[in-house]
Amino acid sequence: MRRKLAAGNWKMNGTSANLAQIEALKDAHVGALSEILIAPPTSLLHRASVVAENGPVALAAQDCHKGESGAHTGDVSADMLKDAGATYVILGHSERRADHDEHDEDVRAKARGALKAGLRVIICMGEELEEREADNTLDIIAGQLAGSIPDDIDGENLVVAYEPIWAIGTGKVPSVAQITEVHDFIRARLEHRFGLKIARAVRLLYGGSVKASNATEIFAIENVDGALVGGASLKAEDFSPIITALDKS
């Protein structure tokens, strides 16, 4: 059985005061059935790991450099992130792809570096609104799956997050049928490439305007193993109901 995963991506938000939100989640979800993950900004990662210690909340980084070390001013390696307390790293988020011109091959290289360092990777993918309207969604996802995911995965160290770009932070959510189609497609592609055993161990998350009011419906979809949540993860009072809904699914 795949353990459900509720992942919160704080993006470029948060200072020391926000660590109280992790403390609140830690206290509220002792014995949670689902795995709980918070990706704070890198500046908070180590302090967040101290706050989260001996509790149900694990930590993720929001990005990493592909290399182990070197003359890369401003970059952070996977080894450094692991040392700071991260157990996961989010890669290929649409905002990174857009803001930093990251392509599938860049995401793949970073994933290799992260896996080598012993981090689990959450690889994001999704289509633009124009691509959805042109009925090109599955072609886009197929290309991102093939190009972004390295060969050396064992199922346990990979999470795939489907985030339609047009749904991120907009309040728009794909229909149940649309989410089902994409998640079933991703699972089938993974099975074809890696075989049943590995593919069935990979958790598939949905991301894009997930909130307490729609979480139960989304988590009832087959092949949805949890969510990658943005804005609603910044406050424990908003994220906790999503975690509870996932525990009950």
Q: Residue 53 carries which DSSP code?
A: T
121-158 tens-digit pLDDT: 999 999 999 999 999 999 999 999 999 999 989 999 99
84 in a structural domain: yes
Indicate if the pLDDT at residue 173 is higher than 90: no
Number of domain units in the chain: 1
176 in a structural domain: yes
248 in a structural domain: no
211-245 tens-digit pLDDT: 999 999 999 999 999 999 999 999 999 999 999 99
- The reported pLDDT for the residue numbered 66 is 97
Q: How many degrees, rounded to 5, is the angle at CA 70 between CA 65 and CA 73?
A: 70
72 in a structural domain: yes
- The reported pLDDT for the residue numbered 170 is 82
244 in a structural domain: no
Crossing angle for the helix pair 212-219 and 236-248, to the nearest 10 degrees? 20
Domain that holds residue 223: 5-238
Query: What's 209's domain CATH number?
Result: 3.20.20.70
Q: What percent of the chain has pLDDT over 70?
A: 100
- The reported pLDDT for the residue numbered 169 is 80
Contacts for 204 with CB less than 8 Å, ≥ 6 apart: 159, 160, 161, 162, 183, 186, 187, 223, 224, 225
Q: Which residues are catalytic?
A: 93, 163
Structure tokens at 33: 């059935």
Average pLDDT, the chain: 96
Please give the model's pTM, rounded to 2 decimal places.
0.96
The span from the CA of 103 to the CA of 176, in Å, is 28
Confidence of residue 168 (pLDDT cuts 50, 70, 90): confident
